[in-house]
Amino acid sequence: MVFRAPHRAMFLGGCVMLLASFALWAIEIAARAGFIDGVTWMLPPAWMHALLILCGVFPFFIFGFLLTAMPRWQGLADLSTGDWSWAWRLLAAGWCVSLAGMLLPGVLLPGLVLVLAGWVFLLRVLGGVALHRHPDRLHALLTFAALTAGCVALGAWLPAIVMQNAGWARFATQAGLWWFLLPVFFTVCHRMVPFFSSNVIKPYVVVRPRWAFAVVAASVMHGAFVMVGYEALTWIVDAPAACIAIWLSWKWRLVAALKVALLGMLHVGFAWLGIGLMLFAIQGFAAMFDTYLFGLAPLHAIGLGYFGSILLAMVSRVTLGHSGQALKADRLTVMLFAALQLVSLARIGADIGPASLSNGLMAASVAAWCLVFSAWAIRYAPSYWRARVDGKPG
10 Å CB burial of residue 345 (0-12, 13-18, 19+) is middle
> How crowded is the C-beta side of 33, counted as CA atoms within 13 Å?
21
Q: How many beta carbons lie within 10 A of that of residue 82, not counting itself?
A: 8
pLDDT at 33 (0 to 100): 78
CA angle 294, 348, 313 (to 5 degrees): 135
Under 8 Å CB-to-CB from 301, ≥6 apart: which residues?
Answer: 272, 275, 276, 279, 344, 348
- What is the four-CA torsion angle of 182, 46, 366, 262, rounded to 10 degrees? 10
pLDDT at 38 (0 to 100): 80
pLDDT at 145 (0 to 100): 98
pLDDT in tens, 7-42: 999 999 999 999 999 999 999 988 887 788 888 999
The phi and psi torsions of 249 (rounded to 5 degrees) equal -55, -40
String of b and e for 287-314 (b: at least 16 CB within 10 Å)?
Answer: beeeeeebeebbbbbbbbbbbbbbbbbb
294 sits in the region (left: phi over 0; alpha: psi -120 to 50; else beta) called left
What CA–CA distance (Å, rounded) separates 295 from 7? 36
pLDDT at 378 (0 to 100): 97
What CA–CA distance (Å, rounded) separates 158 from 13? 22
Asked if residue 369 lies in contact with residue 343, where contact means CB atoms within 8 angstroms, the answer is yes
Type of residue found at 41: W
CA angle 369, 370, 372 (to 5 degrees): 65
pLDDT at 358 (0 to 100): 81
Structural domains in the chain plus CATH codes:
2-384 (1.20.210.10)
Low-confidence ranges of the chain (pLDDT < 70): none
pLDDT in tens, 95-112: 999 999 999 999 999 999
